[in-house]
């Protein structure tokens, strides 16, 4: 595996591949990689001849009181894992490479509607930063296919809208959520949990499953969502939202809608904010 940190070096490699007629896959990450990330590398391999992964902790998607400075960074360990899972190039740019005028002076891309609700409402500006950095990475890598995980399902919808809005010649592929044996969705932020919190963390996924079962049994949507919030609060969480939405656009389902839905949740456990979702179909 080759590691590059500059755009010129990255493009030289990718353009050489494309001259050979090879299909290029791309997996963007913020590093501190785990089995969920590596499953996306393996999935990209099924859709492409060569795979680029990026590791960049993007400052523009963090709010002023969020964990940008303490977000776990483990590039050396990440590199080893990427080699083991068949990555061809690691793109590890600096902030200066990604934002030549500085993050505070960078242009911003706003994806309305799907980017304004749920995470967008609780973390203002978050998806502007996501859309901006993803658009930049797509322009730098010029992939034929990009792979994203389903755990950040709202991010996935934002990216799909971005690709369609900008008419990018690019296929977006979704990888399933990878979970620990007890159901906790794998996340780089899980390492923030202490031992006691880690034993309670799977309750987020369990509550999403309960929401599915209650909804299927015919309980009213508002009742299911309210009860889910209270269930998490009793378990020691501070939930931001526990909702049932349309999977296609995160809209509130009509009373007679029973398919194409998913439950989404975000909650703090101590100082750690966890997100998860569960498709109903």
For residue range 16-60, list pLDDT tens digits in order: 999 999 999 999 999 999 999 999 999 999 999 999 999 999 999
Which one, of 178, 152, 186, 176, lies nearest residue 32 by Cα?
Answer: 186
Task: Give catalytic status of residue 205 as yes or no.
Answer: no
What does the alpha-carbon distance between residue 50 and residue 55 come to, in Å, rounded to a whole number? 17
Summarised one tens digit per residue, pLDDT across range 235-280 is: 999 999 999 999 999 999 998 888 999 999 999 999 999 999 999 9
Domain residues of the chain, as ranges?
2-175, 188-279
Supply the pLDDT for residue 281.
79
Contacts of 133 (CB under 8 A, 6+ apart): 28, 56, 58, 60, 61, 98
Instruction: Round the CA-based radius of gyration of the chain to a whole number and report it.
Output: 19
Q: Provide mean pLDDT across the span 92-115.
A: 97
Query: Is a pLDDT exceeding 90 seen at residue 173?
Result: yes
CATH class of 188-279: alpha beta
Mean pLDDT of 176-192: 96
pLDDT of residue 65: 82
> 174, 130, 114: which is closest to 150 by C-alpha?
174
Assigned architecture for domain 2-175: 3-Layer(aba) Sandwich (3.40)
Q: Which entry of 34, 37, 122, 126 is annotated as an active-site residue?
A: 37
Query: Of 213, 183, 218, whose CA–CA distance to 201 is shortest?
Result: 183
Sheet-wide strand order for 89-91? 2-4, 89-91, 50-55, 24-29, 145-149, 171-175
């Amino acid at each position: 595996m080759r590691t590059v940190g500059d755009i010129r070096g990255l493009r030289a490699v990718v353009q050489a591949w494309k001259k050979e007629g090879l299909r290029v896959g791309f997996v963007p990450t913020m590093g501190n990689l785990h089995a969920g990330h590596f499953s996306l590398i393996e999935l990209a391999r099924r859709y492409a001849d060569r795979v680029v992964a990026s590791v960049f902790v993007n400052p523009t998607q963090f709010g002023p009181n969020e964990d940008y400075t303490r977000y776990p960074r483990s590039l050396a360990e990440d590199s080893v894992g990427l080699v083991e899972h068949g990555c061809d190039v690691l793109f590890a740019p600096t902030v200066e490479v990604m934002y030549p005028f500085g993050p505070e002076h960078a242009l911003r891309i706003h994806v309305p509607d799907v980017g304004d609700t749920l995470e967008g409402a609780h973390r203002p500006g978050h998806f502007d930063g996501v859309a901006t950095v993803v658009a930049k990475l797509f322009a730098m890598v010029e992939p034929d296919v990009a792979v994203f995980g389903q755990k950040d399902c709202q991010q996935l919808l934002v990216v799909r809208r971005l690709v369609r809005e900008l008419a990018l010649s690019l296929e977006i592929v979704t990888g399933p959520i990878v979970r620990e044996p007890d159901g906790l969705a794998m996340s780089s932020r899980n390492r923030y949990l202490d031992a006691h919190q880690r034993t309670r963390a799977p309750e987020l996924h369990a509550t999403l499953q309960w929401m599915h079962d209650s909804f299927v049994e015919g309980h009213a949507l508002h009742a299911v969502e309210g009860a889910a919030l209270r269930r998490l609060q009793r378990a020691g969480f501070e939930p931001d939202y526990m909702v049932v939405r349309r999977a296609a656009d995160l809209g509130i389902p009509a009373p007679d809608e029973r398919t194409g839905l998913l439950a989404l949740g975000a909650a703090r456990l101590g100082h750690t904010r966890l997100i998860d979702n569960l498709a109903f179909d």
